[in-house]
A and B are shown apart, each in its own frame.
Chain A
Amino acid sequence: MRRLILIAVPLGAALTGCVNVRTPEKPIEINLNVAIRQEVLVRMQRDVDTLINQNPEAFPQPPAGTTPGATRQR
Chain B
Amino acid sequence: MIRWAGLLLAAVAGAAVAQGAYFDARAAGQVGERFDGYLGYTQVQPSPRARAQTETINIRRRALYSDLAQRRGASPSEVGITAGCTLLGRVAVGESYMLADGQWRRRSAGQPAPVPDYCTGG
Which residues of A line the B interface, CB within 8 A? 27-28, 30-32, 34-38, 40-49, 51-52, 55, 57-63, 66-70, 72-74
Which residues of B line the A interface, CB within 8 A? 15-16, 19, 22-23, 26-27, 34-36, 38, 40, 55, 57-62, 64, 68, 72, 74, 77-79, 81-83, 85-87, 89-90, 92-95, 100-102, 107, 109, 112, 116, 118-122
| A37 with B78: CB separation less than 8 A | yes
19 A-B residue pairings within 8 Å (CB atoms): A31-B36, A34-B100, A34-B116, A36-B77, A37-B78, A40-B78, A40-B82, A41-B81, A41-B118, A41-B120, A48-B79, A51-B64, A58-B60, A59-B57, A60-B19, A60-B23, A62-B23, A72-B112, A74-B89
How many contacts A-B (CB < 8 Å)?
Answer: 121
Query: Are A62 and B27 also in contact (CB < 8 A) when A32-B101, A45-B85, A68-B93 are?
Result: yes
Query: Are A36 and B102 also in contact (CB < 8 A) when A48-B68, A52-B87, A68-B94 are?
Result: no
